Amino acid sequence: MLRRPGFIYFDIDDTLLDHSSAQRAALQDVREAHPALQQASFEELSRVYAQHNHRLWHAYSLGQIDRHALQRHRFEDTFAELGLGVSSPEAVGREYMQAYRRHWRWIPGAKAALKALSQSFRIGFITNGFSETQKKKVADFGLEALAGPVIISEDVGYLKPSPEIFAYAEAQSGAGAGDILYVGDNLVSDIRGGRSAGWQTAWYAPQHTAEENGEASFVFRNFEVLQARLLSG
C-alpha cells in the first residue's frame, strides 16, 4: 500500500538510465577494438567480466580495495582467467569507460515520468557508483535541474544498502522517514535498504512476476504506471 509521499528519491542505474545495456555495448566496443579479446566469445567475456566486476564491487563496498584497484582488476583478472594476452589491461579499462559513457540512454518512459513527478513532488537521487561517472550522468541527462539532493556513494563513503547512506539522504531531504519514497530496481540495495530505513519503496521490476512483490510498497513494470499512481493522489 503506497501513501502519498512528501519526497521521492530515485536510483539512477537501471532505474532511470539503462546501465546494463550500456555496459554490454561498451564491452562489445572494446572487444571489437582489440583482436586479443576476440579469442574469447563475447558471451564468455561478458560472463567472466560480470563475475569479477561483481566480486570486486563487493570488496570495494567493504572498503577492502579502492576504486583504482576495482577499475584495474576487473579487466586484468578477466583477461588472466580467460588466458587472453592483452598488453595493457589498464588502457582497455579506460576505453571501456569512454565507450560506456557513449552508450547511456534513458529507460523507456523514465524521462517523462521524472519530469511530470518533479512538478508535484520534491525529488532527489541516490546512486551507488563513482562520483565522477555519476556526476557526468546527472549533467548529461539534465537530472540536476529536476531535483534537489544528488547522493553518490563514493562521496558519502557508504554504498546502498548501508543504513548510513539512507540516513544521510534522509537528513538532506528535510523529510521524515515515513514521508520518503525510494524508487529503484534492486531488491537488496534499493528496496530492502529503503525499507530498513523506514521509507516507502517502489520497485521497478520489468522482468519480475507478481509472486516476488511482497517486500516493496509498490511494484511497477513501466513508468507510466508509477506516474499515474503517484499523480492520482
Binding window for Mg ion (CB under 5 A); candidates: 21-29, 60-68, 172-180, 184-192 = 184-192
**Which of 10/96 has CB closer to Mg ion?**
10
> In whole angstroms, what is the distance from residue 220 CA to residue 94 CA?
36
Q: Choose, by CB under 5 A, the member of 77, 185, 205, 216 that binds Mg ion.
A: 185
Beta strands in 5-121 (DSSP E): 7-10
Q: Choose, by CB under 5 A, the member of 14, 18, 77, 170 that binds Mg ion.
A: 14
- Least distance between Mg ion and beta carbon 13 (Å): 4
β-pair partners for 134: none
Q: Does residue number 170 form part of the binding site for Mg ion (CB under 5 A)?
A: no
**Which of 77/185 has CB closer to Mg ion?**
185
Q: What does each C-alpha distance from 110 to 13, 82, 91, 115, 157 come to in angstroms?
A: 12, 38, 33, 8, 28
Q: Does residue number 18 form part of the binding site for Mg ion (CB under 5 A)?
A: no
- Least distance between Mg ion and beta carbon 147 (Å): 16
Binding window for Mg ion (CB under 5 A); candidates: 53-61, 70-78, 163-171, 180-188 = 180-188
Q: What does each C-alpha distance from 183 to 51, 94, 130 come to in angstroms?
A: 26, 31, 20
Residues 186-215 that bind Mg ion (CB under 5 A): 186
β-pair partners for 7: 122, 180
Among residues 155, 124, 148, the alpha carbon closest in space to that of 11 is found at: 124
User: Contact at 8 Å (CB) between 59 and 65?
Assistant: yes
Binding window for Mg ion (CB under 5 A); candidates: 23-31, 131-139, 182-190, 210-218 = 182-190
Q: Does residue number 13 form part of the binding site for Mg ion (CB under 5 A)?
A: yes
Q: Which residues bind Mg ion (CB under 5 A)?
A: 11, 13-14, 185-186
